[in-house]
Amino acid sequence: MSISRRQFLGWLGAAGTAGAGAAVGKKAHAAASKRFEGYPDSDGVLFDSTRCIGCRKCEEGCQKVNELPEPDRPFDDLTVLEIKRRTRAGVYTVVNKYDTGENGKGTVFRKIQCNHCLEPACASACFVAAFTKTPTGAVTYDESVCVGCRYCMIACPFEIPTYEYDQPLTPKIEKCTMCYPRITQGLLPGCVEICPVEALSFGKRKDLLREARDRIQKHPKRYVDHIYGEKEMGGTNWLYLSGVEFEKMGMREDLGTTSAPELTHGALSIVPMVVGLWPVLLTGVYAINKRKEKINREEKERAVAEALGKANAEAQAKLSQTMEKAENDKKTEIDTAVKKALEEAAKKESDDKETS
């Protein structure tokens, strides 16, 4: 199991404490599990640019031991140094020339290859875990699972991984492996072995750091007081010394010391929060709405019932009124009729009297 996965589980645990602050990267770091400081005995390479003569031998060594394709221009053609190059498919390492114009230090060379980060962005970004940070320090890549999404290339702050864009169906990522197959057999990486001036030294990272500090201390005028890779992006197994500001050799000094996993763990820790909270909240909202609807419906029903009741009562009242009226009418009618009859009878009587 790679260390990054173990860390992920750690974050999941930390998610509880990261809580709401998780979305705010800076703050959430405080709640993160402790930083991975690298495998204690891992190997590394120290590149000393003040020694490098720009001979491109390391490129050649790399091509030979890794059986990479032949270069477009032979390795002893130093005119290619005039153009800025980068790693690309079939090329794990390149040497570039920089004219710094600085106090007599003039032209410097820099060798570019994978820095074998302590907490590699590429490994953290890969969604099939194709990269492994091995205990040797080397970051290796497994072609057999790679989907070719190229997110590792987006993630790598040093712009190292390359891709076989011309392969229609079987493209793979390519990058320096620190000669993993060789170092596990006790051999030196191809570039280190071939370098004629010991601009490259291979060894345990902690020893290399000591060595680098030593050199800076002994020759304070020769070096800038900075070991590139000691802290950059959480630290790398490939370390650099230089006589000029690293920026002048095209190396970014604004990368910061935050490792890739630290940059993303806040967002990852939100996952359990969303999965845990949303269903509860949404079901709650749903239930409230259901209840509201029910109450609404009941109220409506009650209102309807009441209205009906009222209408009934009214109708009843009206009916009895009408009945009463009708009765009254009838009564009057009868009264009138009786009265009329009596009157007529009385009239008849008097008429009879008159005639008799």
Partner 1 sequence: MSDTTAHVGSPRYSAFNVIAGIILALGLVVTVLRFSGGLSSVTNLDDYNPWGIWIGFDLMVGVALAAGGYVTSAAVYIFGMKKFHSAVRPAVLTGFLGYTLVVIALHYDVGRPWRLPYPFIMQQGTTSLLFEVAACVALYLTVLFLEFSPAALEWLGLERARNWAVKLTLVLTIFGVILSTLHQSSLGALFLIAPSKLHPLWYSPFIPLYFFVSSVIAGLSMVICESSMSYKYFKDKMDDTHMKEKESVTLGFGKAASLVLAGYFVIKVIGIASDNNWSLLATGYGAWYLVELLGFVALPCFLYAVGVREKNITLIKWTAAWTVLGIVVNRLNVSWIAFNYHLPSSERYFPHIAEIVISIFLVTVGILIFRYIVTRMPILYEDPDYPQH
* Binding positions for partner 1, 148-177, rule CB under 8 A: 148-151, 153-155, 157, 159, 161-172
| CB of 53 or CB of 145, closer to partner 1 | 145
Strands 238-241 and 43-48: parallel
Q: Total number of residues binding partner 1 (CB under 8 A)?
A: 71
Segment near ligand SF4 (CB under 6 A); pick from 21-29, 109-117, 269-277, 289-297: 109-117
- Stretch of 184-192, 194-202, 251-259, 321-329 contacting partner 1, by CB under 8 A: 251-259
Rounded CA separation 80/47 (Å): 21
Residue in 78, 197, 282, 308 binding partner 1, rule: CB under 8 A: 282
Map residue 113 onto helix, strand or coil: coil
58 binds ligand SF4 (CB under 6 A): yes
CA nearest neighbour of 112 among 243, 250, 303, 230: 250
Q: Site for ligand SF4 (CB under 6 A): which residue of 25, 29, 89, 151?
A: 151
Is 182 near ligand SF4 (CB under 6 A)? Answer: no
Binding flag, residue 39, ligand SF4 (CB under 6 A): no
Q: Using the rule CB under 6 A, is 74 a contact of ligand SF4?
A: no
| Cβ contacts of 272 within 8 Å, gap of 6 or more | 12, 15
**Shortest CB 239 distance to ligand SF4, Å:** 13
Give the max Cα distance, the chain. 175
Interatomic CA distance for residues 353 and 355, integer angstroms: 5
Backbone angles phi, psi at 188, to 5 degrees: -80, 155
Nearest to 262 by CA among 5, 63, 44, 33: 33
Query: Residue 176 and residue 113: Cα distance in Å, rounded?
Result: 6
The residues binding ligand SF4 (CB under 6 A) are 52-58, 95, 109, 111, 114-117, 120-122, 125-126, 128, 130, 139, 146-152, 156, 158, 160-161, 173, 175, 194-195, 197, 199-200
